[in-house]
Structure 1
Amino acid sequence: MRIAHFCDSHLERPDGVARSAQLTVRLLRAAGHEVDFYHPGPLLSRGVRSVPVPFRQVRVGLPFTARPADVVHAHSTGPVGMTGFQAAADWGVPLVATWHTDLLAYADVFAEVPVGAAWCALRLGLGWTAGEFLELTRPGAVRRGRLIELGKGMFARMAVAIAPSAKTASGFAPFEPAAEICVLPTPVAPVAPGPARNGGNVVLSVGRATAEKNPELLLRAFARVHAARPDTRLVLLGVRQGRARLRRRIAALGLGGHVEVRPPVPPGEVTGFYRAADVLAFASTTDTQSLVLAEAEATGLAAVVADPELADRPGGAEGGRFTCEPTPGAFAAALLRMLDDDALRSKVAGEGLAAAAAYRPEVFLRRLTEIYQRAR
């Protein structure tokens, strides 16, 4: 079986979409499948040529021609992903799409989302009027309604829609999907867990510090944690954009000297940060799965998750995650409880390790190939 994968995140971008697509392609190839992988590359490359977006770690793919495949798998809905949508229609083959990004949640945060939505509507031939396109410029309910119409157009073309979590699958309802819905989280590579820590003073956050990741909630909650436990430190790993603004906010909250801001590091180095921490603080409420959570659990790091909808661990493992409401008071109380209670921290860490051991890459690969076979 030949599968064509289409992804708009370039491989050097440290985001979950790129990493999920890369892992999926690698597993399929190792299992003997023929896989074409289309993703933005250098302008002079022989693959999908692309141009960088100024001041953003984003590249926009230029037009290209894909070779026919038996199944198309789209990981995004930018220029590369939309080429996959069109290719599936042209070749008369099933379109499988993984919904990695919450379109509705990101629309009011990133200016390029409404612009990209207008372009997608044109590519899909939805026949919108000028007034309907203009609705994308109006934040709030009007824009949301127009994006739902776009989502309906996308889902109408899918044979299978893959949701990386039950939370994401439930969010498909406004799009009225006729496609088969499958919950299939991306796995993480097994790692050797580090030794148990009993210091209880290092809180780690991994990922961007842009608005959709809720850094304000994290900092305000940590301010309360630090007031109760002055020896506690917060490590923010993976911050590239908005560093100056973030540092100003840290200073305004009186946290200077107690918060360490670190840029992204290669994936192989992130494990060391997990092992050096006592708890992972996860503040985002817009993630569709979060590989960070699964990675932390695979290394034996307990996590506090400020999104009750992400309580389920990949693979349907028993024992839900330790979650709280996304308010500074609730998040701080949950973090303090995790830091102070060694037995709770050990229990949560153990459940995370068990879940990671049960949901290995081969489980994901088997389920994915079954999806392809049913779609055909």
Structure 2
Amino acid sequence: MRIAHVSDSHLTNPEGVATSVGTTVALLRAAGHRVVLYRPGPLSRVRRRPGEVPSLSVPTRPYRLALPRPPGAPVDVVHVHTTGPLGVAGLRWAAARGVPTVLTWHTDLVAYAAYYPEIPIGAAYAGLRLGLRWRVRDLWALARPGPGRQARLAALGRTLLAHTTVLIAPSPKTATMMATMAGRTPIVVLPTPAAAPHADADDRRRVRARLGIPADAPVLLAVGRATPEKNPELLLAAFAQVRRVLPTAQLVLLGARRHRLAVRRMAHRYGVGGGLHLLRPAPRHRVGAYYRAADVLAFTSTTDTQGLVLAEAEAYQLPVAMVDTLLAERPGTGTPRPVAEPTGAAFAALLTRLLTEPELRAAVIRDGLAAAADWSAERYLTELATLYASLPPVSPASETGRGWPS
């Protein structure tokens, strides 16, 4: 099968969308499918690899802005992963040619709009390119927090899904969230599987030694951005209360590129600056070492659509503690992960139990391993390939007179 994957996130970006796209493309190629991944690349044509599109780096952001170039070769399916200029170009190109389109909803745009001003700007661009007749008042509403912005983002969501043959939701939470926008577009829940653990028996000892953490100290790990939508303040408030019970406990926050000073200030305000290890993003092949070095993964985000790090941690036999009840169901077995109320006291109590109660810890590790084994890469690939093969034919849209790609 010939498949075009389209993503505004370049593969070297250390975040969930890039990880999910890279995993999916690699599995499809290994199974013999002809896959081209259209993603941001260098401006210079000499340096670009197949599928890369000219792009510019965005100041203060870990991503690149790609030119809206659609796929350039005949394909059987277009699979879009983002709703930036490149993703929108892929949707329009597929609609104009009658190619079935799959859209994976990786990001909660409504929640993220409160933290990232580029999302309303991108929404305005996407709406105009997809035929929404935005007026000045619509653009003004997009620029301001409140129900007006949410209504416009919901309208954009409905328009995006009207250009989509099937929507993939990476969790039941996301499927429920998107149900009101989907209309007649079917939704399939298909989480990205966690990568198999890297074998390295000395990871735990080496990482702890490098960070100056004693071998017997309890270690909490958080993986991902330290930006406000990930709720680092709740994490630090809970950590402060864990330290009252376990004074030698340490917190490793891996992936903090932005807001580092704000996080350090919060840590000092809570009196835990001495136990915090604030680390920048690590290459994907090195993240497993930190899973092995830790005792519990602490996950305080309520804005994630899947939380790929949850399944990754469980594959490394690291128990997970979280506060998002809507994301607690494990892919595969459907067993629930440990969840606390989103308060410092409640989350600290859960973290402390996972650090000090061997029977509870063993049960959580067992359930996590079972889910990781059940929702394997092979199962995911089979279900995705079956979905592609089942896509119905689509009639080409008669939009060439409106500036659609020819």
Q: Alignment partner for residue 247 of structure 2, among 225, 230, 233? A: 230
1:361 to partner: Cα distance: 0.6
Secondary structure of residue in 2 paired with 1:250: helix
The two structures have a TM-score, normalised by structure 1, of: 0.96
**Residue 52 of structure 1: aligned partner:** 57
- Is 2:218–2:250's contact at 8 Å kept on the other side of the alignment? yes
Point out where structure 2 has 5 or more consecutive residues left out of the alignment.
206-214, 393-406
Secondary structure of residue in 2 paired with 1:172: helix
**Residue 341 of structure 1: aligned partner:** 357
CA 1:337 to 1:304, structure 2 compared with 1: closer, same or farther past 3 Å? same
1:68 to partner: Cα distance: 2.5
Mapped to 2, the partners of 1:337 and 1:312 lie a distance apart of: 20
**Residue 265 of structure 2: aligned partner:** 248
**Residue 368 of structure 1: aligned partner:** 384
**Residue 357 of structure 1: aligned partner:** 373
Please identify, of 323-332 and 35-44, the stretch whose mean Cα deviation from structure 2 is larger. Answer: 323-332
- Is 2:78–2:90's contact at 8 Å kept on the other side of the alignment? yes
CA 1:356 to 1:194, structure 2 compared with 1: closer, same or farther past 3 Å? farther
- Is 2:68–2:88's contact at 8 Å kept on the other side of the alignment? no
Alignment of 1:174-185 (within 5 A): 174-185=180-191
Q: Alignment partner for residue 328 of structure 2, among 298, 311, 315? A: 311
The superposition leaves residues 345-372 of structure 1 with CA deviations (integer Å, 9 ceiling, x where unpaired) of: 1110111111111111110011001111
1:200 to partner: Cα distance: 6.7
- Is 2:6–2:37's contact at 8 Å kept on the other side of the alignment? yes
Secondary structure of residue in 2 paired with 1:83: helix
Secondary structure of residue in 1 paired with 2:43: coil
- Is 1:42–1:50's contact at 8 Å kept on the other side of the alignment? yes
Mapped to 2, the partners of 1:283 and 1:246 lie a distance apart of: 14
Aligned amino acid, residue 109 of structure 1: Y
Secondary structure of residue in 2 paired with 1:323: coil
**Residue 61 of structure 1: aligned partner:** 66
Please identify, of 62-71 and 88-97, the stretch whose mean Cα deviation from structure 2 is larger. Answer: 62-71
Aligned amino acid, residue 5 of structure 2: H
Mapped to 1, the partners of 2:334 and 2:10 lie a distance apart of: 35
Secondary structure of residue in 1 paired with 2:348: helix
Alignment of 1:108-257 (within 5 A): 108-191=114-197, 199=216, 201-257=218-274
Deviation beyond 4 Å, 4+ runs, structure 1: 192-200
Q: Alignment partner for residue 331 of structure 1, among 347, 350, 356? A: 347
Mapped to 1, the partners of 2:138 and 2:350 lie a distance apart of: 44
- Is 1:28–1:35's contact at 8 Å kept on the other side of the alignment? yes
Aligned amino acid, residue 341 of structure 1: E
The two structures have a TM-score, normalised by structure 2, of: 0.89
Mapped to 2, the partners of 1:296 and 1:173 lie a distance apart of: 29
Mapped to 2, the partners of 1:129 and 1:180 lie a distance apart of: 30
Matching of residue 267 in structure 1 with residue 284 in structure 2? yes
- Is 1:200–1:339's contact at 8 Å kept on the other side of the alignment? no
Please identify, of 250-259 and 279-288, the stretch whose mean Cα deviation from structure 2 is larger. Answer: 250-259
1:242 to partner: Cα distance: 1.3
**Residue 15 of structure 2: aligned partner:** 15
Mapped to 2, the partners of 1:226 and 1:119 lie a distance apart of: 47
**Residue 400 of structure 2: aligned partner:** none
- Is 1:194–1:275's contact at 8 Å kept on the other side of the alignment? no
CA 1:354 to 1:52, structure 2 compared with 1: closer, same or farther past 3 Å? same
Mapped to 2, the partners of 1:166 and 1:230 lie a distance apart of: 38
**Residue 24 of structure 1: aligned partner:** 24
**Residue 87 of structure 1: aligned partner:** 93
Mapped to 2, the partners of 1:356 and 1:63 lie a distance apart of: 37
Point out where structure 1 has 5 or more consecutive residues left out of the alignment.
none
Aligned amino acid, residue 338 of structure 2: F
Please identify, of 299-308 and 42-51, the stretch whose mean Cα deviation from structure 2 is larger. Answer: 42-51
Matching of residue 296 in structure 1 with residue 313 in structure 2? yes
1:340 to partner: Cα distance: 1.4
Aligned amino acid, residue 82 of structure 1: V
Aligned amino acid, residue 53 of structure 1: V
Secondary structure of residue in 2 paired with 1:264: coil
- Is 1:190–1:356's contact at 8 Å kept on the other side of the alignment? no
Q: Percent identity?
A: 51
**Residue 102 of structure 1: aligned partner:** 108
Aligned amino acid, residue 201 of structure 1: P
Please identify, of 192-201 and 321-330, the stretch whose mean Cα deviation from structure 2 is larger. Answer: 192-201
Aligned CA-pair RMSD: 1.7
The superposition leaves residues 171-211 of structure 1 with CA deviations (integer Å, 9 ceiling, x where unpaired) of: 01331431111000001222268889995711111111001
